Amino acid sequence: MWRFLPRRASSVFALLALAGLFVSSSAVTAQDWTRFRGPNGSGESEAAGIPASWTHDDLNWKVELPGVGHSSPVLWGDSIFLLSADKEKATRYVISLDAKAGKTNWKREFAGEPHHLHVRSSYASCTPAVDEKHVYVAWSDPNRTTLMALDHTGADVWSIDLGPWVSQHGFGTSPMLYEDLVVITCSQENSKRAGDPEPKESFVVAVDKNTGKIRWRTDLKLDTTSYSVPCVRKAADGRDELLMCSTGEGIFGVDALSGKINWNETVFNMRTVSSPVLVGGLVVGTTGSGGGGNYVIALKPGPQPEIAYEVRKEAPYVPTPVARGNLLFLWSDKGIVHCLKSDTGEEVWKKRVGGVGYSGSPIRVQDKLICVDEAGLVVVLSATDTFAELARIDLKEECRSTPAVSNGRLYIRTISHLFSVGGKTAN
C-alpha cells in the first residue's frame, strides 16, 4: 500500500524541464496528449475519471521501463510513447506501450556517447511529440544533435543531425508540432570546460514532418542555454506565431510559417527552462538559476509588448505555470504554490506544500492540481481560489517528469516506471 506522508521541505536546485507540441490537425481529439503538458503546452485537461487520491489497489497498471529517464509520456489513441536511456552507455530507448494494458508494443535502441550531465539530468530528458502518423524524438551527444521521426510501428521515417550541443547541464529541449512542421530550439551557451566543442550558433529550426527537410531556420543569440519549448498564439493579423522564451531574446514571437521574429522583449537575465503558457491573452514565462533570484514575467504579446506584472518572490524556475480560468498557479521548485489572478497578478493565496524539490511541472485536471516532487511524492491540490490539499501519494521512486492525461487516465513516469490510474468513470 502506498503511504500518504508529509515530506520535509528543502531547497534543492532542479534544472531540466520537459516540453512540447501543438497540433492544429482536426484528427487530434481533446483526449489526446500529444506533447509535454498536453494541447499547446497548457497542462490543462477536463478529463473525468481522474481521482484526487488513490492507493496501489486503484492502479490500472505499473510497468518497469528499461534504463532511466525524465521524458514524459505522450499519447495517440491507445498508444503511449516515451524515451528512456542506459545511464552508463547513453543508449537511448524509444518505447511504445499499450495504454490500456501497459504492455510494450515495441522498443528501439540507439547507441549514444557518454558525456557530462547535470546530476538531475539524464540521457532521456526530452518528451516526444506525436501525431496520427509519426512520433518525433530528439537527443544530443557532444558532437551531434539528433531529430528523428519513427512511424507508429517503430520503423524509421527520417533522421537529421542538427550539429553539436554545448551546455553544462545536458540536452533537455523537446520537439513540438505546428501543422506540417516539427519545430525544435537549439539554444546553446559558451562552454569553458575542456573538451567541449566550441559553439558557433543558437537557433530554432522547423523541418517538414514527413521528410525531415529544413523549411526554415532562425538564428538566436548565443547566450545561456534555454530549454523552453514554444506554444502557439494567433496574432492580431490572423497569422499564427510561436511564443518562445530565451535569455537572449527574452519573450518573443516567431511567425510559424516563415520563422521571422515578429517582436521580442528582453525581460530575462537568467536561464529559461520552463515553457511559455498563454493565459487570458498574456504570455507567462519564468527565469532563474541554481543560485536563486527566480522571477516570473506576464507579458502582453505583440508588436509593442508590455509587461503586465512580475512575480519576484518565491517564484518558480523549472516548473511551468498552469491556469484555470482567471486563476494562475505558480508551483515553485521549493514547493511554494501561488494562486494569482491571471490578469493582474493579484495574490489569491500562497502556501508551502513541501516536498524535496520539483523538477517536473504541475498539470490541472478539472479542479485538481497535480505535481510530483523529486522523491516521487504526488501532491494533489484544489485548483480553486481557496487552498485545499487533497492528497499525498508516495510512488517511492525518484521523479523529474510531468504527468500526462488521456482517455480519462492519468500517467506518471518515475525514473524507471510508468503508472496508470483513473478512467473508472470515463467514457
Give residue limits of the domains in the chain.
39-422
Which residues have C-beta within 8 Å of that of residue 382, sequence separation ≥ 6?
Answer: 367, 368, 369, 388, 389, 390
Unique residue bearing C-alpha cell 504526488: 378
Distance between CA atoms of residues 8 and 385, nearest Å:
25
Cβ atoms of residues 351 and 343 within 8 Å: no
**Nearest in space to 249 (alpha carbons), one of 215, 216, 283:** 283
> What's the CATH fold of domain 39-422?
Methylamine Dehydrogenase; Chain H (2.130.10)
Which residues have C-beta within 8 Å of that of residue 28, sequence separation ≥ 6?
Answer: 34, 39, 131
The pLDDT tens digits for 249-283 are 999 999 999 999 999 999 999 999 999 999 999 99
Amino acid residing at 171: F
The pLDDT tens digits for 80-89 are 999 999 999 9
Residue 18: pLDDT above 50? no
Residue 14: pLDDT above 50? no
Cβ atoms of residues 249 and 220 within 8 Å: yes
pTM of the model: 0.90
Task: List beta partners, residue 342.
Answer: none
The pLDDT tens digits for 194-232 are 555 565 688 999 999 999 999 999 999 877 788 899 999
